[in-house]
Structures are given as structure tokens and as C-alpha cells.
A and B are shown apart, each in its own frame.
Chain A
Amino acid sequence: MANKRIELEQYKHYVNLLEEEPNRKTARRGFLTCAIVMVILVVGLIVMGFMSTNLARNPSHVTSKPQPATSTPTGTQVPSGTQLPSGTQLPSGTQLPSGTQLPSGTQLPSGTQTPMAPTDKMMSDAGPAGLIDAQPGDLVAQAQSSTPTPINISAPSTSPGSVTSPGKPAAKPLPTTTSGAGNLSNLANGAGARGLDIYVLVLGIALMIVIYLGVRRVRLEGKTK
């Protein structure tokens, strides 16, 4: 009885071993499957890298908060004097009136109508635009309230998240965007705006070579045995 139990225990151990450590041929095939999957993943990442180049060229894109797509649908007219946050992407066909401030990093697609250089103080330009669809009496009403209202447009003085205390001279905070080698856009805009493509391609090929070295070892092992 005791012998039978030992035998069963050994048999159980053998089954475990088979499950834990498959034979070398199966293991080699499994490794090849994994290697092929990872090579395809690397190729996929290279393609995604190429697709991301346009976004990466924008210096503030990585750290800018994206705007919801519904805020500026195609063909939308942005109201006069609107301040667009940094990194805003405008859809094609958007009309920008004069006075709209465009910060650095704003992407303007083709078809966007931009005004002349904005001034810090501007007059309300409802007049000329209002003449097109003017109804009888509109001009009289407009003349009565003829004093144009100045609109002040100024850049926000504080960066998002910064806290200013009135008493203390605050230490100069670090910017939330990188510069020089720290910024991805420098790489993306380098080498004739092909920097990121080259980076992704070189790194991807290097990884594929490493995987190939592993595959070659496994194949050699298979041939020798």
C-alpha cells in the first residue's frame, strides 16, 4: 500500500513536470511563435510612430490638455475675441475673426481663415458684419449705441496649477514643458522633419535583430539535436 502511494506520488510529480517543462521541440516552436508576435508588435509600433510624427512636431502637444472634439466642429465660427488655449487643434473650415489670439502650438489646418495680426486692444467689429443681414431699423439702433466697446484681451498671467502668494516672492517654478533635448518635438522636427521616423525605425530594427539572434540560437539548438 505504501509502495503504491509512493508510485502514485511519483506519477503525479511526472505529470506536473510534463506540464511545467514541455519537451524541447514544443518549447522551440512556442518561442518562435512569441518571437514572431513580438516582431509584428515592433513593426506595428514603427507604423504607429510614423502616424504620430505630425502630432510630435508640436512642441506643447505632449503636455497640453486636449480639448473635446465637440467644442469646435468643422465649419464653426469662433466668436470674436476668443482666447484659444495652447495646443488647440482647429478643424478645417474654421473661421477665425480678428482679435482671436493664437498661442504657440496651435495647429491650423488648411482652409482655416485667419485674420491679420491681432492687437492687444481692439474695437468691436460687429458693424460691418451686421450690415450684410441688416433689417430695417437695425442701423438706427446700432447708431444709438454707437460707442464701440473696447475689448481687452490679455494672456493669462499664471500657468495652470501655479499658486501665487501675495506676501512672499515666489521661487521661479519649473516650466511644465521641456526644451532642448528634453522635448520630443526637437527630435521630430530634426533631420528634415524625419527625426522621429528615423529614431523609431532604428530602434525597431535593433530590437528585431535582438529577437532574431534569439531565434537563431534556438534554431541552431534544434539542428544540433
Chain B
Amino acid sequence: MKANVIVFEAAIFIFFLFFYHGSSRAMGKSRNRVFFAGALLYSLAIQTVAVLGGVMNFYWYQQNTYYKHYPLGGYIIWLGLVPLAAGLLFYLVAAMTQMLSTVMMPKASAWARSALAGAIAVGFYLLIEPIAITNHWWTWNLKSFYIIDIPLVALFGVFAAVFLFNAVYTLTVLDAKDQKNLKKFEDRTVKKLLKTNHHPANLNWRQLQWLFFYRLLMSLVVFAAFMTPVIVIFWAVANRGQIPPNW
């Protein structure tokens, strides 16, 4: 028996069902719903850009010949270029690390908690990555610096993504606060659209959700700004060349 993609996908779907039930109770139904939607969209955006940019791909499972290699084919459910299972995996890891960091450091600042969440997420991905690349659940194509065939860029990316996502969630949904450096910008953009000028703590739930998604979008810009020099640095000291995505 191989740990092929069907095993991975089926396991993730089953674990997701139980986990979602548990996290709905732990976080609250509405909060968990918005966390799930945010995590799925966030990971989808990052991984789609990564696939389009030739950083990684799931393409072997799109190839007809390889698709026939497995009894049930490759990934079953796709969201564009990214399989749903990859997004669900990000949700599982982000939600678990969010809860763990809140439980372990209840009185720490949102930034410290998010940093802890990011560090634990890196631990999870250090476990997942060697198995994923060996079984071709996904492939890294980037010219970069690799350790045990995992690009260090990926680990920095996981840390940054989980850190930013958890920071936005904590500062918007859990402890709704105005961000000093973003206040003017938000007053002109998202709050105009929502037709309100209230402090985030006084927004109703629907408005708070929109503010959360808006801030997630902004955090994607921050993520891109952080990752660009990281990619460039590891490109310069690369120990493995680029693999053309469709070779």
C-alpha cells in the first residue's frame, strides 16, 4: 500500500469533518465559519499564485497518464489550480495553532501568540513536507535552497502565512481593534463601503466579517512584500535549479 494522493485526500476530508465540528464548539459557530472561509481563501490565493509563478505544482495529478496510475485517479476536488485538500490542510493547521497559542499564552500580545502559532505550523509542515514530496502530493519547482528536498522558502512562507492570518483574525475578530497605521486608510476604503465609522468593537457581526476579509486582503500584500526578498535571497544561494512546471 502506498501513501498516494487518494489516501491523503480521503484522510484530510475525514479529519476535516471531525475537526470542524470540534472547532465550532471551541471557537463559536460564527467565528469558526469565518475562520474557515478566510483560511481557505487565504491559502487558495497564495497557492494559486505559487502554481502560476512556477514555485510549486500539483500538476502530476492533472496529467492523464499519471492520473490513470492510481485506482481512483488523482485529486478529486479542485479549486482552480489547487486541490481542496491542500486548502483544508492549511485550515486544520492554522486553526489548531490558533487555539494552541491562545491556550498556551492567554495573556500574551496578539503578535506573540501569532508568532507561536506560526512556529507550531512550521513544525507541522516539517512533518508533512517530506511525505508530501516523496509521494508527489505536490512538487516544488523553484530554483532555491533545499534541505531534505524542501525549499526553505516554503517554511518561511508557512510561518508568514500562519502568523499574518492569525494576527489578522485575533486583532479583528477576537480583540476587535483599530490599527493606528491602517485607520486612515480603512476609514477611506472599507468603512465607506460598509457605511459606518464605528470602532471595530462596535461593528455588527456582518460588518466585522467584511472588515476581516478586507484586512486579510491587505495582509496578502504584506505577505508578498515579505516573501519577495526571501525568494530572491534563496534564489541567489540556490542548490537546486528550476524544474520547468510541465517538463
Contacts and interface: CB of A to CB of B under 8 A. Distances in A.
A114 to B, nearest CB: 25
B148 A31 contact: no
B1 interface: yes
A176 B25 contact: no
Interface stretch (B44-52, B120-128, B160-168): B120-128
A207 B222 CA distance: 28
A21 B130 contact: no
B24 to A, nearest CB: 7
Contact of A70 (B68, B143, B147, B247): B68
- Size class of the A contact interface (CB-based, 8 Å): 35 or more
B22 A30 contact: yes
A8 to B, nearest CB: 14
A48 B148 contact: no
Interface in A150-182: 160-161, 173-182
Given A19-B30, A184-B133, A217-B103, A207 B23 contact: no
Interface in A17-59: 19-22, 26-38, 40-42, 44-46, 48-49, 51-52, 55-56
A214 B103 contact: yes
A20 B26 CA distance: 10
B240 A174 contact: yes
Given A69-B68, A181-B147, A203-B127, A30 B243 contact: no
Interface residues of B, number: 61
A217 B66 contact: no
Given A38-B96, A56-B134, A66 B240 contact: no
A196 B104 contact: no
A173 B19 contact: no
Interface centre among B25, B123, B204 (most CB of A within 10 A): B25
Contacts of A49: 127, 130-131
Interface in B92-115: 92, 95-96, 99-100, 103-104
A56 B130 CA distance: 8
B11 interface: yes
Interface in B192-218: 204-205
A98 interface: no
A40 B96 CA distance: 13
Given A21-B28, A55-B134, A207 B124 contact: yes
B205 A20 contact: yes
Contacts of A69: 68-69
A122 interface: no
Contacts of A182: 145-149, 239-240
Interface string B39-75: 0000000000000000000001000011011000000
A210 B122 CA distance: 13
Contacts of B139: 62-63
Given A41-B11, A210-B100, A68 B28 contact: no
Interface string A190-206: 00000010011001101
B130 A200 contact: yes
Contacts of B26: 22, 27-31, 33-34
18 contacts: A20-B29, A22-B29, A29-B22, A34-B26, A35-B96, A62-B133, A66-B66, A68-B65, A70-B65, A70-B68, A174-B242, A175-B241, A176-B240, A184-B149, A199-B130, A204-B127, A207-B123, A214-B100
